[in-house]
Amino acid sequence: MKNLYLLFLVIIFFSTGCSNSNTENISVKAKNIILLIGDGMGPEHIKAAGWKEVGKEGKLYMETLSKSGYIRTSSADNLITDSAAAATAIATGVKTNNGVISLDPSLNKLITILEEAKALGKSVGLITNVQIIHATPAAFASHVESRANTTEIARQILDNEVDVLLGGGENYFLPNTTIGCFPEIGHRNDNRNLINEAIDEGYTYVCDSGSLEDINSSNVTKLIGLFSDEGMDRPFSPSLDLMITKAIEILAKNDKGFFLMVEGGQIDWASHANDAENAMNDTINFDKAVKIAHDFSIEDNETLIIITADHETGGMSTSLVSTGESSEDGPFYMPNGEEFYINWSTTGHTNSNVKVFAHGYNYNLFEGEHENIFIYEVMKESFGF
Ligand SMILES: [Zn+2]
């Protein structure tokens, strides 16, 4: 009887392995998850950035991953989501109202994938080029009724002991009497200096790209890097790819694995401003971080990487000919010199579906069209909760 049971287990093991190994050698459980979110990055942003970077026959790196699908983005109370509700859906598997950070529509606290990963003994990290207390990273490590409660979000993120925090937003960690590495005084009126508190708790602190680059990752287990008073200025220094490289080096030292969220946060800002040049450049920069995550996952073979967006911003459309509309931006040029144009239909968000790309355990589940909460469900299953 016992032998039969063992045989059954062996059959299950091999059948699971085979179903996942049609194109690549996929591990049977994800030790690590890297989730990359292009804020505001709709399908046309990806197309436009691809035309600019590699031409219309080429592909961005994210588009070369083995499976892709579409994500529906509406929030609990609105067809058009904001980043707070969208990130809450992705982080917790529950749709909430616009503006709310990881509480349900009745304001009950929701546990996030980052908190669940931590409970499993994994290391966790958050990276962005906007303020680290901004809605997308906030939804993974804090719980507040309003995304505007930014100094409280900073406190909660540090209380959650996120191992690696890299981004902008120094102001939210400093008292309103104190200047840090950057010119503005802090925003906190509770007189707490959260940067000093973090250092006291064993964090390494950096505030410029050179210091981040110089970090010897084998000596660092907790890192906070704040690289501007508010959102980071272009050209981003450090780049997303340096931040993700360092974060992976530190987080991957944990034998139990890690969860890392990386946000290309200013694709959204450029799109609110209907600034096609920066929306495309930021998408191209985000794509470079995707390549680093993918390279790691191929070498490591125990990592699920997911690339998606929280929503589309700007109602962007691409065209090979000028429409002559006042909302038109361009001409822009492909590497072969061919012209193209961008049109915008709004300075706000839209209800457009966004894309999802994945590589690693369970990557095949993303084919087709899914609600944004599905991303959480796949991450949770992949971690084996
Ligand atoms: Zn936005």
Q: At residue 274, does pLDDT exceed 60?
A: yes
Instruction: Give the pLDDT confidence of 309-319 residue by residue, as tens digits.
Output: 999 999 999 99
Question: Ligand 1 mean position to 348 CA, how many Å?
Answer: 7
Question: Ligand 1 mean position to 266 CA, how many Å?
Answer: 9
- The share of the chain scoring above pLDDT 70, in percent, equals 93
Q: Is 87 exposed, middle or buried (0-12, 13-18, 19+ CB in 10 A)?
A: buried
pLDDT for res 302? 93
Q: What share of the chain is helix, strand, coil (3-state, %, to 5)?
A: 40, 20, 40
Question: Ligand 1 mean position to 349 CA, how many Å?
Answer: 6
Instruction: Give the pLDDT confidence of 194-213 residue by residue, as tens digits.
Output: 999 999 999 999 999 999 99
pLDDT for res 153? 97
Q: Round to whole Å and give the CA distance between 295 and 53.
A: 20
Instruction: Give the pLDDT confidence of 320-355 residue by residue, as tens digits.
Output: 999 888 889 999 999 999 999 999 999 999 999 999
Q: What are the catalytic residues?
A: 83
Q: At residue 259, does pLDDT exceed 80?
A: yes
Q: At residue 12, does pLDDT exceed 70?
A: no
Q: Is 337 exposed, middle or buried (0-12, 13-18, 19+ CB in 10 A)?
A: exposed
Question: Ligand 1 mean position to 21 CA, how many Å?
Answer: 38
Question: Ligand 1 mean position to 285 CA, how many Å?
Answer: 18
Q: Which residues pair with 206 in a beta bridge?
A: 225
C-alpha distances (whole Å) from 273 to each of 149, 169, 342 are 24, 21, 13
Helices (H), 186-265: 194-200, 209-214, 240-251
pTM of the model: 0.92
Instruction: Give the pLDDT confidence of 13-51 residue by residue, as tens digits.
Output: 443 333 333 334 444 589 999 999 999 999 999 999 999
C-alpha distances (whole Å) from 248 to each of 38, 224, 260, 355, 383 are 19, 14, 8, 24, 18
Q: What is the mean pLDDT of the chain?
A: 93
Confidence at 77, pLDDT banded by 50, 70, 90: very high
Other C-beta atoms closer than 10 Å to the C-beta of 295 total: 13
Q: Which residues pair with 262 in a beta bridge?
A: 36, 127
Token duo for residue 239: 């780049």
pLDDT for res 17? 36
Which structural domains are found in the chain, ordered by start? 29-354+366-383 (3.40.720.10)
